[in-house]
C-alpha cells in the first residue's frame, strides 16, 4: 500500500519510490504537511504553521479567527480571508464568488481512473478527497496518484456543480502545493523558434512569479514547467521540485512568495480568457500536473520525470521500442522535388542502416510549390511532383526494405485550398474580421466534431491507402481569433480548453486507427513539446535548428523534463542552413544520435565513402540505443555555462554507459577537461575500449578521466563503457 490514512491523526501518507507526500485534515480543511524525501509515517502535526499566513485577524461568527487563512492548504479558495493565489474561483447564482469546500470523505483506489478527454499518466494508486460547500452545492475532488517506480506525485482537481443553479468557473486550476520557506530559485524553460527551451533561473521573491501561454498551444515561449530549486542546489546536489503540466493549450504556473515567507505553487488551465459554465450536475476536469522531487539536484529531478514519463505517460507500444533511423527530404529539397529526386535520395542511403524515408511538406494539393497554397488538401497528391500518386513511391520504398513516413499538418488550413473553398466555415474566424494568417494558414475549429470527423476520415484514408508506416505531424501556427461557430455566446470563453479537448480527440482517433504507425510530433520545430503531446507521440521534432552546436543547448534544456528518446534529432547538411557553421559529420552525428535520430539532407549526393561513414555512425547508434531508450541521464557539463556539453547515460543495472563529451569553440585555453563519472557501481570494473583501459567504478567516479580535445571547433569524444568480470 503506497497510500495510507491514519484515522487518529487524520493524516494521509502517500509514498512514491523515494518520496513521501503528507497532509491531514485540520477540522475539515486539508492541511499540507510535507512533500520531500521518503520519511517514516510518524506524527507530523508539529508541522502545522500557526499565525496568519495571508491575512490579519478575520473571524466568522463564533470562531476566533479563520482557520483556513492560517493553513498551508491543499486547496486555496477565494473570498473568505485567504488572499493567497486561489486554486479555484466559482461564481454562484447570486453573483457572489465565494466558496468554502470542506472535507466530506475520501477513497483510496488501487488504480487511477482514466480521465475523460485529457491525456494523463496511467495507473498508480490514487487518493481522492471529496470536499463540498453545503451552502452552494459546489464540490471539489482532489486526486493524488503515486508510483512505486518514480519520484513524482500526479495531482489534479475535478470541480462539480451539485447545486441547483448554474455556476461559472472563473478560475479552475489543478492544484495548490504549499512549500516551506521561500529560499528557492525558480527555473523556467523559455525560448522561441530555433531557440527552444533555454534555462533561466531567477530568485524567488515576495509576490507571484508566473509563467504562462495564451496561445492555445503550450508553445516554445515558455514550456509548461517550473523548477523550484532550493537555493544552493545544483545539477547534482540539493532539494529540487519540478512542476510539469500535462496540457497543451493556454496554461499558467505560479509560485507565490507569501507575506510569511512561504511559497505556494499553483496553476493549470490559464484563467485569462476563461470562464466555464457549469450547469447543475456537470463537472469540469482539470489537467494533470506531475510534481517531481529530488534530493539529488536538478539531475535527479530530470531522472524522476524521465522515469515517470517513460513508465506511465508515453505510448507503451513505442516508448521502449527501437526507433527508425530516418532520412527526411525537407532540408534536402524543401518544396522542390519529384519522384526521380526522391528515388535518388532513397537510393543514396542504401547500405547505411537508414531504414525509413520521410516525405515532408509539399506532396499534396494541386499546386503546393511553397507555403502559400494547398494546406489541408490531403485528398489530392500533387500531380506535377508525383504523377502516379503516393503509391508508386510507397512501393519503391518498401521494395528497398525501408519504411515510408509522410508529413501532415492536419490542424490548419490554407485560404487557397480545396478544403477552405468547400468548407469555409471550418476555419476559426469571427464574422466581419479578416482571420489572422500564420505561415499563410488559418487554424481549424477543432472544438467542432464535424471538423474533426472530416480530418479523421481524410488523414486515415491517406495512411491506409498508401501503407504509411510513420507520420510526421506538424503544427506551424498558434490560434488567433479564438471563437467557435459551434458555441453559444456565453460559452465562447471555454474555447481554449475545448480546443485542447478537440486536439486530443483528433490525435487519439487517428493514432488509435493506425496502431502500428509511429507518430512523430512537430510544431514548426519544437514549439509544442509538452507532456500531453508526448502521451500520443513517442518522439517530437525538437527544433528546426539542427546545427550541432545549437542543438547542444536545445537538447540540454529539453532534457530538464523530457527523456532522450522523446527528442527527435537529425544530422543536417553543412554549411548549416540557419547558422552557416560547418562541424564534421562525426560531430553532427554524435549530437543527433542522443535521441530518436535521422538525417535531413540530400543523400543523393552521398559518395561511397560517406555512405560507409554514415553506416558506421548508425551501427554505433544501434549499439547504444538501449541506453537512449532506457538509461539514466547524468548531465556533466552545461553548454549554457561553458563551451562543454557532456552527457553520461548509464543503464539501470549499471553494467553499461556511454559518455559523449563535446567541446564547442576552441578557445585555446580549453583543450583539456576533467570528467568525474556518476551513477556507476563503485565496486564494478568497467572496460573503456576507446582508452584501452579497465577501471573500477570508484576510480571513474572519484579520480575520473581527463580528456584533451583537438585544436578545432565543434569536436567531441565518445566512450562506450561496459562492466567486466
Ligand atoms: C516545420 C517543420 O519543423 C519542418 O521540419 C518541416 O516539416 C516544415 N515545417 C515543412 O513545412
pLDDT, tens only, 453-473? 999 999 999 999 999 999 999
Centre of ligand 1 from the C-alpha of residue 154, in Å: 33
Q: Tell me, what's the pLDDT at 58?
A: 75
Ligand 1 neighbourhood includes 662 CB (under 6 angstroms): no
Q: Tell me, what's the pLDDT at 81?
A: 84
Q: State the residue for C-alpha cell 460547500.
A: 133
**Cell numbers found for residue 584:** 564534421
Centre of ligand 1 from the C-alpha of residue 427, in Å: 21
Atom of ligand 1 nearest to the CA of 544: 3
Centre of ligand 1 from the C-alpha of residue 407, in Å: 9
Per-residue model confidence as pLDDT tens digits over 209-223? 999 999 999 999 999
Centre of ligand 1 from the C-alpha of residue 409, in Å: 9
Name the residue of 544, 546, 570 to mutate for ligand 1: max ligand atoms within 8 A of Cβ. 544
- The residues, ordered by sequence, that sit 6+ positions from 39 with a Cβ below 8 Å of its Cβ are 20
| 24-29 mean pLDDT | 93
Centre of ligand 1 from the C-alpha of residue 319, in Å: 23
Atom of ligand 1 nearest to the CA of 525: 3
Ligand 1 neighbourhood includes 524 CB (under 6 angstroms): yes
Centre of ligand 1 from the C-alpha of residue 476, in Å: 8
Q: Tell me, what's the pLDDT at 317?
A: 96
| 48-61 mean pLDDT | 70
Task: Tell me the sheet residues that pair with 22.
Answer: 13, 34
What pTM did the predictor assign?
Answer: 0.98
Alpha helices by DSSP H, 259-337: 297-312, 330-333
Q: Cis omega (within 30 of 0) on the bond before 301?
A: no
Centre of ligand 1 from the C-alpha of residue 628, in Å: 25
Task: Tell me the sheet residues that pair with 658.
Answer: 649, 720
Query: Residue 447: is its pLDDT beyond 90?
Result: yes
| 68-93 mean pLDDT | 91
Ligand 1 neighbourhood includes 409 CB (under 6 angstroms): no
Ligand 1 neighbourhood includes 522 CB (under 6 angstroms): yes
Query: Residue 71 — very low, low, confident or very high, per pLDDT cuts 50/70/90?
Result: confident
Query: Residue 672 — very low, low, confident or very high, per pLDDT cuts 50/70/90?
Result: confident
Residue ID of nearest Cα to ligand 1 atom 9: 524
Ligand 1 neighbourhood includes 415 CB (under 6 angstroms): no
Catalytic residue among 544, 547, 573, 632: 544
Is residue 307 part of the annotated active site? The answer reads no
Is residue 82 part of the annotated active site? The answer reads no
Ligand 1 neighbourhood includes 475 CB (under 6 angstroms): no
Within 10 A of 386 (CB to CB), how many other CB atoms are there? 20
Residue ID of nearest Cα to ligand 1 atom 10: 361
Look over the chain and give the mean of its residue pLDDT values, rounded to a whole number.
96
Q: Tell me, what's the pLDDT at 53?
A: 61
Residue 721: CA atoms inside 13 Å, Cβ hemisphere, count? 28
Query: Residue 80 — very low, low, confident or very high, per pLDDT cuts 50/70/90?
Result: confident
Centre of ligand 1 from the C-alpha of residue 474, in Å: 7
Residue ID of nearest Cα to ligand 1 atom 2: 524
Ligand 1 neighbourhood includes 126 CB (under 6 angstroms): no
Query: Residue 64: is its pLDDT beyond 80?
Result: no
Query: Residue 399: is its pLDDT beyond 60?
Result: yes
Ligand 1 neighbourhood includes 330 CB (under 6 angstroms): yes
Per-residue model confidence as pLDDT tens digits over 233-262? 999 999 999 999 999 999 999 999 998 889
- Of 166, 167, 186, 193, the residue nearest 267 (C-alpha): 186
121, 288 in Cβ contact below 8 A? yes
- Lowest mean pLDDT of 131-135, 416-420, 457-461, 707-711, name the range: 707-711
Atom of ligand 1 nearest to the CA of 541: 3
**Cell numbers found for residue 355:** 531504414
Atom of ligand 1 nearest to the CA of 407: 7
Ligand 1 neighbourhood includes 194 CB (under 6 angstroms): no
Name the residue of 359, 365, 382, 524 to mutate for ligand 1: max ligand atoms within 8 A of Cβ. 524
Q: State the residue for C-alpha cell 510530433.
A: 521
Ligand 1 neighbourhood includes 359 CB (under 6 angstroms): no
- The residues, ordered by sequence, that sit 6+ positions from 328 with a Cβ below 8 Å of its Cβ are 358, 360, 405, 472, 570, 598, 599, 600
Q: Tell me, what's the pLDDT at 615?
A: 98
Centre of ligand 1 from the C-alpha of residue 472, in Å: 9
Residue ID of nearest Cα to ligand 1 atom 11: 361
Per-residue model confidence as pLDDT tens digits over 331-388? 999 999 999 999 999 999 999 999 999 999 999 999 999 999 999 999 999 999 999 9
Catalytic residue among 474, 530, 573, 632: 474
**Orientation of helix 608-630 relative to helix 585-592, angle to 10°:** 20
Q: Tell me, what's the pLDDT at 368?
A: 96
Ligand 1 neighbourhood includes 220 CB (under 6 angstroms): no
Amino acid at each position: 500500500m503506497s497510500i495510507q490514512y491514519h484515522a487518529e491523526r487524520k493524516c494521509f501518507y502517500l509514498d512514491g519510490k523515494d518520496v513521501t507526500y503528507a497532509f491531514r485534515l485540520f477540522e475539515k480543511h486539508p492541511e499540507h504537511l510535507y512533500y520531500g524525501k521518503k520519511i517514516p509515517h510518524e506524527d507530523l502535526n508539529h508541522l502545522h504553521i500557526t499565525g496568519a499566513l495571508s491575512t490579519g485577524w478575520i473571524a466568522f461568527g463564533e470562531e476566533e479567527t479563520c482557520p483556513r487563512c492560517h493553513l498551508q492548504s491543499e486547496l486555496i479558495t477565494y473570498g473568505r480571508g485567504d488572499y493567497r493565489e486561489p486554486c479555484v474561483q466559482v461564481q454562484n447564482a447570486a453573483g457572489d464568488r465565494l466558496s468554502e469546500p470542506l472535507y466530506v470523505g475520501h477513497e483510496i483506489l488501487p488504480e487511477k481512473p482514466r480521465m475523460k478527454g485529457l491525456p494523463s499518466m496511467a495507473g498508480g494508486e490514487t487518493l481522492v478527497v471529496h470536499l463540498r460547500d453545503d451552502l452552494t452545492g459546489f464540490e471539489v475532488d482532489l486526486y493524488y496518484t503515486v508510483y512505486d517506480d518514480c519520484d513524482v506525485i500526479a495531482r489534479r482537481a475535478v470541480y462539480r456543480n451539485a447545486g441547483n443553479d448554474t455556476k461559472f468557473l472563473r478560475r479552475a486550476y489543478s492544484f495548490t502545493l504549499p512549500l516551506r520557506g521561500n529560499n528557492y530559485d525558480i527555473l523556467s524553460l523559455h525560448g522561441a523558434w530555433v531557440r527552444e527551451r533555454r534555462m533561466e533561473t531567477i530568485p524567488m521573491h515576495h509576490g507571484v512569479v508566473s509563467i504562462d501561454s495564451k496561445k492555445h498551444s503550450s508553445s516554445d515561449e515558455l514550456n509548461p514547467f517550473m523548477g523550484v530549486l532550493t537555493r544552493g542546489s545544483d545539477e547534482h546536489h540539493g532539494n529540487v521540485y519540478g512542476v510539469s503540466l500535462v496540457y497543451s493549450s493556454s496554461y499558467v504556473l505560479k509560485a507565490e512568495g507569501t507575506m510569511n515567507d512561504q511559497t505556494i505553487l499553483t496553476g493549470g488551465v490559464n484563467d485569462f480568457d476563461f470562464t466555464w459554465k457549469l450547469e447543475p450536475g456537470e463537472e469540469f476536469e482539470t489537467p494533470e500536473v506531475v510534481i517531481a522531487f529530488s534530493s539529488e539536484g536538478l539531475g535527479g529531478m530530470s531522472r524522476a520525470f524521465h522515469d515517470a514519463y517513460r513508465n506511465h505517460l508515453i505510448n507503451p507500444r513505442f516508448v521502449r521500442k527501437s526507433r527508425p533511423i530516418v532520412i527526411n527530404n525537407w532540408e534536402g529539397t524543401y518544396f522542390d522535388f519529384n519522384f526521380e529526386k526522391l528515388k535518388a535520395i532513397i537510393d543514396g542511403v542504401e547500405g547505411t542502416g537508414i531504414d525509413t524515408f520521410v516525405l515532408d511538406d509539399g506532396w499534396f494539393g494541386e499546386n503546393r510549390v511553397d507555403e502559400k497554397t494547398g494546406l489541408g488538401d490531403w485528398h489530392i497528391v500533387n500531380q506535377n511532383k508525383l504523377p502516379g500518386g503516393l503509391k508508386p513511391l510507397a512501393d519503391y520504398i518498401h521494395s528497398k526494405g525501408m519504411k515510408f513516413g509522410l508529413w501532415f499538418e492536419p490542424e490548419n488550413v490554407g485560404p487557397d485550398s480545396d478544403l477552405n473553398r468547400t468548407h469555409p466555415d471550418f476555419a476559426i474566424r469571427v464574422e466581419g474580421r479578416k482571420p489572422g494568417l500564420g505561415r499563410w494558414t488559418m487554424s481549424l475549429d477543432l472544438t467542432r466534431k464535424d471538423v474533426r470527423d472530416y480530418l479523421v476520415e481524410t488523414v486515415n484514408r491517406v495512411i491506409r491507402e498508401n501503407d504509411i508506416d510513420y507520420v510526421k505531424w506538424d503544427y506551424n501556427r498558434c490560434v488567433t481569433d479564438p471563437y467557435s461557430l459551434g458555441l453559444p455566446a456565453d460559452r465562447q470563453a471555454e474555447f481554449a480548453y475545448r480546443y485542447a479537448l478537440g486536439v486530443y480527440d483528433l490525435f487519439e482517433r487517428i493514432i488509435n486507427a493506425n496502431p502500428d504507425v509511429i507518430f512523430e510530433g512537430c510544431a514548426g520545430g519544437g514549439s509544442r513539446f509538452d507532456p500531453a503531446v508526448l502521451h500520443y507521440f513517442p518522439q517530437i521534432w525538437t527544433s528546426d535548428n539542427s546545427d550541432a552546436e545549437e542543438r547542444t543547448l536545445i537538447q540540454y534544456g529539453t532534457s530538464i523534463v523530457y527523456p532522450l528518446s522523446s527528442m527527435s534529432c537529425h544530422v543536417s547538411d553543412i554549411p548549416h542552413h540557419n547558422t552557416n557553421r560547418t562541424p564534421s559529420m562525426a560531430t553532427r552525428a554524435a549530437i543527433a544520435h542522443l535521441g530518436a535520430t535521422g538525417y535531413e539532407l540530400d543523400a543523393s549526393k552521398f559518395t561511397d565513402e560517406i555512405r560507409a561513414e554514415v553506416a558506421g555512425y548508425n551501427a554505433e547508434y544501434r549499439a547504444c540505443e538501449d541506453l537512449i531508450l532506457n538509461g539514466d541521464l547524468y548531465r556533466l557539463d552545461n553548454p549554457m555555462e561553458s563551451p562543454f556539453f557532456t552527457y553520461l547515460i548509464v543503464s539501470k543495472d549499471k553494467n553499461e554507459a556511454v559518455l559523449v563529451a563535446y567541446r564547442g569553440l576552441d578557445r585555446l585555453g580549453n583543450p583539456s577537461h576533467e570528467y568525474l563519472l556518476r551513477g556507476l557501481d563503485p565496486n564494478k570494473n568497467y572496460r573503456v575500449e576507446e582508452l584501452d583501459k579497465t577501471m573500477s567504478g570508484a576510480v571513474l567516479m572519484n579520480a575520473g578521466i581527463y580528456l584533451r580535445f583537438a585544436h578545432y571547433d565543434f569536436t567531441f569524444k565518445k566512450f562506450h563503457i561496459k562492466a567486466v568480470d
